[in-house]
């Protein structure tokens, strides 16, 4: 069960030296509490808004070419095979604001306040949803990976809300921070998404703890296993390394023996497809947390997505702070590219189960020259290959041979996707369990009266 949470800047839990740990075991008995909370989404106690909402902005004109994070995926070629029709992608996040380019948005409930989940005070979940399924517009060149997919929004976390009446002693397990949400409500949201018919779940949050400590995520592990057993592909951000956050220490080296920092739910492989971030040149992003659980990668830079302001109809690529408009980077925005790809694959190959969909995405990724590694897993995702490759029967875990792709449509020459940075919206804050050192992080750093920079896990 999740413990209390607090802004990491207030309470720090130093990571010990790396020690050999084992992959996490699933405790089926821990599922019960998540199921009990999944049927009626609501805060665990009364909450109140304690901070102003995010102020996303668009710097410059609407883009007349897709952002680099999309161009490298050659999505127009992939869309000749699938656009994600018939798929429901659950976004468990800070909520998703209604937007004309998310026409198929469905409410899934709210564990933060009393809404139906289709609000986004933090300006984060809407960005994630737009990357997954934004429909095209003649006004710009941005489109989601799976524009024909549906989005199911479950609001599970907000850094603008807190528990009411925070004074006095707080019993164990009470949430306390400039923010509201925990691994327990995250577990409940995962079960709820599966029960509401999601075929893909995106989790752009991460709970970090030092290797060997009590991760307090047994309910979350049981929940992602529940989703997997119910044929749902769960995609999760790998997490961001940040000097003043709970994901402080990078996992250098390779394998479980090199783990300094555990990231949940990302580490629940093979039930979760964990996503790392690469820069525009294909190199692993410095901020991306490594781990033996990382499966694939996508670009987590140069993000453009949908405006989360009420009544907003356009795009954003920056967030207003006291210091001006600040950029955003992180694995939170790499993950939805993979969730969108999972929707494309599920739509094209409806007979594949969750394991087979995840396996296809992994085996068709563009592997780094050194082979599979703990920074980017099998490599940068390749949507066209994932939709067209002829794969051997054996899965990756069974030692399958290298894939062979069938002929694909010729892709017309496009703009050179050379490395560059554009302004993007965001900030990052990690919330930490005071007693046990667990942190729930989202791509958004917000301290009271401040929206800082670098949005992610």
Catalytic site residues?
A: 93, 124, 332
d(CA 424, CA 141): 16
CA dihedral 169, 173, 179, 183 (to 10 degrees): 180
d(CA 318, CA 408): 36
Locate 88 and state its tokens: 């429901």
d(CA 433, CA 183): 10
348: left (phi over 0), alpha (psi -120 to 50) or beta: alpha
CA dihedral 281, 286, 289, 293 (to 10 degrees): 30
d(CA 329, CA 302): 7
Exposed/middle/buried for residue 227 (C-beta within 10 Å: 0-12, 13-18, 19+): buried
d(CA 97, CA 104): 12
Close Cβ partners of 9 (under 8 Å, ≥ 6 residues apart):
244, 447
d(CA 141, CA 148): 16
């Amino acid at each position: 069960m999740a413990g209390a949470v607090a802004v990491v800047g207030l309470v720090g839990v130093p990571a010990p030296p790396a020690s050999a740990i084992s992959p996490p075991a699933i405790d089926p008995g821990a599922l019960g509490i998540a199921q009990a909370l999944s049927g009626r989404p609501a805060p665990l106690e009364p909450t109140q808004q304690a901070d102003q909402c995010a102020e996303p902005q668009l710097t410059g004109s609407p883009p007349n070419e897709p952002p680099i994070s999309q161009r490298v995926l050659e999505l127009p070629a992939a869309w000749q095979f699938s656009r994600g029709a018939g798929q429901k992608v659950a976004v468990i996040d800070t909520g998703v604001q209604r937007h004309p380019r998310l026409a198929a948005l469905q409410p899934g409930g709210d564990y933060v306040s009393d809404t139906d989940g289709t609000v986004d005070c933090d300006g984060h979940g809407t960005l994630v949803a737009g990357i997954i399924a934004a429909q095209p517009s003649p006004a710009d060149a941005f489109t989601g990976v799976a524009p024909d997919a549906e989005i199911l929004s479950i609001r599970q976390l907000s850094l603008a809300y807190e528990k009411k009446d925070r004074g006095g002693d707080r019993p164990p397990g009470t949430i306390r921070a400039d923010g509201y949400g925990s691994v327990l409500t995250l577990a409940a949201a995962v079960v709820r998404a599966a029960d509401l018919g999601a075929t893909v779940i995106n989790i752009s949050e991460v709970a970090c703890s030092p290797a060997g400590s009590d991760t307090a995520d047994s309910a979350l592990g049981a929940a992602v296993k529940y989703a997997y057993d119910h044929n749902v592909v769960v995609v999760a951000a790998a997490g961001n390394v940040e000097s003043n956050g709970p994901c402080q220490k990078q996992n250098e080296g390779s394998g479980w023996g090199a783990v300094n920092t555990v990231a949940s739910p990302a580490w629940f492989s093979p039930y979760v497809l964990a996503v790392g971030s690469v820069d525009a040149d294909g190199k692993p992003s410095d901020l991306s947390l490594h781990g033996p659980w990382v499966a694939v990668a996508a670009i987590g830079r140069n993000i453009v997505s949908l405006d989360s302001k009420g009544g907003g109809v356009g795009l954003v690529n920056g967030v207003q702070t006291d210091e001006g408009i600040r950029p955003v980077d992180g694995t939170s925005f790499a993950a939805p590219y993979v969730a969108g790809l999972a929707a494309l694959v599920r739509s094209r190959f409806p007979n594949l189960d969750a394991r087979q969909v995840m396996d296809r995405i992994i085996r068709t990724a563009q592997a780094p020259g050194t082979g599979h590694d703990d920074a980017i897993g099998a490599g940068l995702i390749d949507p066209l290959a994932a939709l067209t490759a002829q794969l051997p029967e054996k899965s990756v875990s069974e030692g399958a041979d290298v894939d062979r792709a069938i002929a694909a449509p010729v892709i017309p020459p496009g703009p050179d996707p050379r490395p560059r940075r554009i302004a993007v919206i965001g900030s990052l804050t990690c919330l930490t369990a005071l007693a046990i050192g667990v942190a729930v992080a989202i791509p958004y750093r917000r301290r009271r009266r401040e929206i800082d920079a670098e949005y992610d896990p």
